[in-house]
Chains A and B, each alone.
Chain A
Amino acid sequence: MAPALSNFLRVIRAPLAAILLTLALGFLLVASITDEPVRAYRDLLLANFDSLGNFALFLNRATPLTLIALGVVFSFRAGVFNVGGEGQLYAGAVTTTVVAIAGASLPALVLMPLAIIAGFLAGAVVGWIPGVLKVRLAVDEVVTTLMLNIIILLITSWLANQVIRDTTAYGAVSWMVPNSIWLPPLPFVPRATSGFLVAAVLAVVSWIVLFRTQWGAEVRAAGTNLRFAEATGVPAARRVISAMVIAGGLAGLAGALYVLGVGHRFEQNFSPSYGLVGLTCALLARVHPIGSLATALFYAAMLNGAAYMQISTDVPRSLVNLLTGLLVLLMTARLRRAAQAA
């Protein structure tokens, strides 16, 4: 057991250092603003556990983050630098909403799975495009996913403003989805979505699929060296594309579960950069599915904690945006020497 533990510590050393460094910088900033820096930091990190209500909101926040991070894990393990989580998320959320509104007359037992599957598929299609373009034509996936993000956001903005807009509400939000297909709450935590359970189970499933099946080994082989995978008889291009379809699908599912479990409608501004934050969680977890669940929980705590901090002290909640920027900036940095041979 000891070597496994030391291996684990070695792996998490760098991301842990980035997190601690960021929190330390943030603490200095907070200390310069308020007389109660410790109180502010306690609220930032721990106020989520003060009440069952806070805890529910915390789990609701962690759900999309976990699913998007899992999507990033699939794509990165397949060697695709997918920064399109945001677009895939929005595609899933808006498609689920459209299907739910259009099919409102269907029985809930049919409509709910239909809406969820539609959300998954919408994200999957948005993941499939950069996957195919990369594998078949070597089009840079960073560019295509970035561009697709904006394209999808513009499409959803059109839908939310002109097509499915709730004309009685203020802002770009859709009509409510029928409450018969709302996700049930999590047992024992009244206001938390059971979507969290789905996300947690999928984290474990993702780990098994990627690290304990031949399919997963083939995806990772294709991700680390496509030509090696080909030479061992792996249909490498197909594996990369399927991984991207799953990656997009998971982000789409995040959107679907958000709409059915938390928002109950599509809101144009529902995501505080979940795509990028999910990417951050996955990278901090060293692109590991179970680790991603842990970092997503940590990040959800920070995002919600910032609001509690703002209420109890005079530290603006946008501190957390600033800290996110710092963390992302520092996250992949290494203190190693440039000594490696050319």
Chain B
Amino acid sequence: MNLTSLLAAVLEQSTPILLAALAAMITLRANILNVAVEGMMLAAAFAAVAVGDWSGSAWPAFLSALVVAVVLSQLLALLTLRFFADFIVAGLGINLLAAGGTLFILERYYNSPGGLRPIAFPDIWHIPAGSLSWLPVLGPAFEGQSVIVLIALVAVPLTYVFLYKTPLGASLRAAGEDEHAARSAGIRIAAMKALSLAISGLLAGLAGAQLAMDKLHFFLPDMTSGRGFIGLAATLFGGGQPWMTAAASFLFGFFGALGDRLQVFAIPSQFVLMLPYVAAIIGLTFARWRILVRNRPARIRDNPQ
């Protein structure tokens, strides 16, 4: 039973990270380091809560989360691809805009800068309790999880198939890996990058919807709390490959679930929460070090120490 509850916690913690990671991965394959996932998630979470509160029904809330995130992604695409803004700077701008915009709306229209807590909030579909009891351990862990958890799990093979098994995916990867080659094959680079950003927005929107609609049913100005960046870390740790990225996301989700439990053993939660970021830096450093050792000429005399 304990294992089941840990599994359930890991699944719950991992889902927004996994979606954010896939969002960052799809743009990374188009050679964009997408630092705006965090902001798109935040805006999506807010849209879900605001529309859910207003309409009283789950699907408009869910859809508006996706729409808001995709719109933000296309704003980023417009500024970077059409007006040549820097991807990193403009991406950070999206984050600031999402944080500032939601705060502004909270203050101005809800008169509550601390957050938005609807009294009643529509439920999104969750796997009914007891429906998977025939599956030992794993089944009960899935019970009570939202439909977005299932979408996230399906998104992993879907992105894999898209990237590696479709002509469009091949064009996107070519645009990301070698613009000169892609352009000479008649591929429109800007269109591919905009497409990758749109998909990224969709996935980030799902992540934001999961945060707001799964259990919490409210919005806080800092509710994404760096999950977009953990997702980015997971993607980089996974080398931009769908399966490895998913594995890294679950690993980081596991750290998160562990963090809640380790407080009992007097290990400060901050150090557990830190693990994904430390892992990303070490993982990247190690990968670069291996490439260096493999490809560069020997530097025997270069480093006397």
Contact = CB atoms under 8 A, between A and B. Distances in A.
B86 A332 contact: yes
B223 to A, nearest CB: 16
Contacts of A158: 268, 270-271
Interface string B46-87: 000000000000000000000000000001100100011110
A32 B270 CA distance: 43
6 contacts: A83-B88, A154-B270, A322-B103, A324-B96, A325-B100, A328-B93
B226 interface: yes
Given A151-B278, A154-B270, A325-B97, A276 B92 contact: yes
Given A81-B88, A143-B236, A154 B96 contact: no
Contacts of A317: 107
B94 interface: yes
Interface string B216-233: 000000000010010011
Interface residues of A, number: 48
Given A148-B277, A319-B104, 5 more contacts: A147-B280, A325-B101, A328-B90, A331-B89, A342-B183
B188 to A, nearest CB: 12
Contact of A137 (B88, B277, B292): B292
A33 interface: yes
A335 B93 contact: no
A329 B85 contact: yes
A88 to B, nearest CB: 15
Interface in B230-283: 232-233, 236, 268, 270-271, 273-274, 277-278, 280-281
Nearest to A329: B93
B31 to A, nearest CB: 12
Contact of A321 (B85, B96, B274): B96
Interface of A: 33, 81, 83, 133, 137-140, 142-144, 146-148, 150-151, 154-155, 157-158, 162, 273, 276, 279, 283, 316-336, 338, 342
Interface pairs A-B: 9 shortest CB-CB: A325-B97, A321-B100, A329-B93, A328-B93, A316-B107, A325-B96, A333-B83, A322-B100, A333-B85
B98 A334 contact: no
A255 B288 CA distance: 32
A147 B233 contact: yes
Contact of A330 (B85, B103, B232): B85
Nearest to A317: B107
A321 B232 contact: no
A338 B75 CA distance: 19
Contacts of A140: 33, 284
Contacts of B83: 333-335
B206 interface: no
B289 interface: yes
Q: Residue among B271, B277, B284 with the most chain A CB within 10 A?
A: B277
B108 interface: yes
Contacts of B292: 137-138
A148 B93 contact: no
- Does more than half of chain A's interface fall in helix, strand or loop, or is it mixed? helix
Interface residues of B, number: 49
Given A137-B285, A151-B278, A318-B107, A142 B88 contact: yes
Interface of B: 33, 35, 75-76, 79, 83-86, 88-90, 92-101, 103-104, 106-108, 113, 180, 183, 226, 229, 232-233, 236, 268, 270-271, 273-274, 277-278, 280-281, 284-285, 288-289, 292
A83 B86 CA distance: 13
Contacts of B75: 329
Contacts of B288: 133, 137-139
Q: Residue among A317, A321, A327, A334 with the most chain B CB within 10 A?
A: A321
B277 A151 contact: yes
A84 to B, nearest CB: 12
B108 A147 contact: no
Given A146-B35, A332-B85, A333-B85, A154 B271 contact: yes
Q: Residue among A137, A157, A283 with the most chain B CB within 10 A?
A: A137
Contact of A316 (B85, B108, B180): B108
Contacts of B86: 332
Nearest to A18: B85
Contact of B268 (A162, A325, A342): A162
B280 A321 contact: no
Contact of B89 (A154, A155, A320, A332): A332
A143 B98 contact: no
Contacts of A329: 75-76, 79, 85, 90, 93-94, 96-97
Given A157-B270, A325-B101, A333-B90, A273 B96 contact: yes
Contact of B104 (A143, A144, A316): A316
B277 A150 contact: yes
A106 B90 CA distance: 47
Contacts of B84: 332-334, 336, 338
A335 B106 CA distance: 34
Q: Residue among A147, A150, A330, A334 with the most chain B CB within 10 A?
A: A147
Contacts of B271: 154, 158
Contacts of B236: 143
A290 to B, nearest CB: 21
Contacts of B284: 139-140, 143-144
Contact of A326 (B92, B93, B226, B281): B93
Q: Residue among A320, A327, A331 with the most chain B CB within 10 A?
A: A331
A321 B104 contact: yes
A259 B196 CA distance: 44
Contacts of A83: 88, 92
Contacts of A81: 88
A338 B93 CA distance: 23
